[in-house]
Amino acid sequence: MNHRRIARVSAFVTSFLLAIGMQLATLSPARADGPAILGAGSTWSQIAIDQWRADVYRYGLQVNYQGVGSTTGRQFFAAGTVDFGASEIPFQIPPDPPVQRSFSYLPDVAGGTSMMYNLQDPSGQQIRDLRLTPATIAGIFTGQITSWSDHRIQAEYGKPLPNIPIKVLVRSDGSGTSAQFSAYIAATDGAAWRSFLTACHQSYQSYTSFWPYGQPGCLQAAIGQRGSDGIANYVANPGLGNGAIGYLEAAYAVSRNFPVVAVKNVSGGERLIDEAESEHKEIDGLVAKAQGMSMHTDEVVQKVKELRDAVVHHATEEEGQMFPVAEKGLGQQLMELGEQMAVRKKKLATSRVQQAKRLLKKAARKIA
């Protein structure tokens, strides 16, 4: 197979799909059995990139991608060994090498850096509803909290947790995920982050691609793993993973059916989200019950009225409470997304009401 690179794709990108789309006009068509476009970098983005590779392969375009971490991806691109790189942060010069080729940054996937964990309750059931504050998360990943029975975790979770050590998983390679997560820790608990860097004999930096660990007083017992897959596979391992927690893109946990930590915030948004999810389930349950009832009874009419009231209450509460909280907490840059969600919510509420009306009319005809 010929792996020579097609006329240089000169964009260092955080999303190769957008780069390819912009370059198609200047590139010769690639055949699945012909020249390949080469890329390397982020494992945070790799699940999406691999899906895109599979999608374009069906149309004769071959893209090879190595998930080697953002830092190595930037180095490969700077050295000219790949056509594109994927990274969650831009070039850091130094320590990244100078780039002797023209390039552009393009936006990547929107995703969530999350904390995948593996905990079991006394009956052996997977704990799936762990909730922590940013301060406690910082304590765990800077080595200040070392046991799942720590009083701070117990107070926030509200239920007993096993008295076992916390196995902290961090990336052993240069990682954009580490950069993102360390920036979060620095922003939410700056004092803990500064103290941690001091204990690790490092000068202050607001984020780092190389998580400090493995030294006396500096996350000495932490476990380093290469790539997001390495973190996810360790946490999910039945023999090794019990008590483990690590940071990664949420899709890695979802694909393994493992939970991620719910992060408590200062706005009360978590409570509103819980209530919204509960109300969605209530509405779905009412619809299912109404559809399964005989139309010749007064019971179905009552159930449809309950459905109507539930939908109206839910829509009113979301508009009056959840949306203002989201607007205040997320900022103006996400308002467009909020507007799209509002439109979707209105359509959903209208659909529920229309469904309830149809059931009510059908019941009325049957009763008549």
DSSP H or E segment with residue 38 = strand 37-41
Mean pLDDT (the chain, rounded): 79
pLDDT band at 10 (very low <50, low <70, confident <90, very high): very low
Asked if 119 and 237 sit in the same domain, the reply is yes
Q: Give the C-alpha distances (Å, rounded to integers) separating 204 from 27, 144, 148, 219.
A: 44, 18, 29, 17
222 close to 143: Cβ distance less than 8 angstroms = yes
Which CATH number does the domain housing residue 61 bear? 3.40.190
Least confident of 17-31, 134-148, 192-206, 337-351: 17-31
| Residues of the domain holding 118 | 113-263
* Dist CA 361 CA 295 (whole Å): 10
Asked if 311 and 360 sit in the same domain, the reply is yes
Asked if 6 and 88 sit in the same domain, the reply is yes
231 close to 246: Cβ distance less than 8 angstroms = yes
322 close to 313: Cβ distance less than 8 angstroms = no
* Residue bearing tokens 């995948």: 116
Asked if 237 and 134 sit in the same domain, the reply is yes
Asked if 216 and 258 sit in the same domain, the reply is yes
Asked if 145 and 244 sit in the same domain, the reply is yes
Asked if 91 and 78 sit in the same domain, the reply is yes
Asked if 252 and 298 sit in the same domain, the reply is no
State the sign of the Cα–Cα–Cα–Cα dihedral 209, 40, 248, 19.
positive
* Dist CA 191 CA 258 (whole Å): 31
How high is the pLDDT of residue 111? 79
Asked if 156 and 252 sit in the same domain, the reply is yes
Asked if 9 and 135 sit in the same domain, the reply is no
155, two tokens:
């107070």
Which of 230, 263, 296 is a domain's end point? 263
pLDDT band at 5 (very low <50, low <70, confident <90, very high): very low
How high is the pLDDT of residue 190? 93
Asked if 136 and 188 sit in the same domain, the reply is yes
- Looking at residues 225-239, what average pLDDT do you find? 96
338, two tokens:
């909020």
How high is the pLDDT of residue 314? 59
Q: Give Cα 102 to chain centroid, integer Å.
A: 31
Tens digits of residue pLDDT in 104-156: 888 877 778 899 999 998 888 999 999 999 999 999 999 999 999 999 999 99
* Dist CA 24 CA 72 (whole Å): 26
pLDDT band at 21 (very low <50, low <70, confident <90, very high): very low
Q: Exposed e or buried b for every residue in 76-102, given b needs 16+ CB within 10 A? A: bbbeeebbbbbbbbebbeeebeeeeee
How high is the pLDDT of residue 328? 56
How high is the pLDDT of residue 274? 55
Q: Exposed e or buried b for every residue in 239-261, given b needs 16+ CB within 10 A? A: eebebbbbbbbebbbeeeebbbb
What pTM does this model have? 0.63
* Dist CA 117 CA 8 (whole Å): 42
Which CATH number does the domain housing residue 208 bear? 3.40.190.10
207 close to 89: Cβ distance less than 8 angstroms = yes
How high is the pLDDT of residue 310? 67
Provide the number of structural domains found in the chain.
Answer: 3
DSSP H or E segment with residue 343 = helix 335-367
Which of 109, 136, 168 is a domain's end point? 109
Tens digits of residue pLDDT in 162-213: 999 999 999 999 999 999 999 999 999 999 999 999 999 999 999 999 999 9
Asked if 12 and 100 sit in the same domain, the reply is yes
Which of 76, 109, 142 is a domain's end point? 109
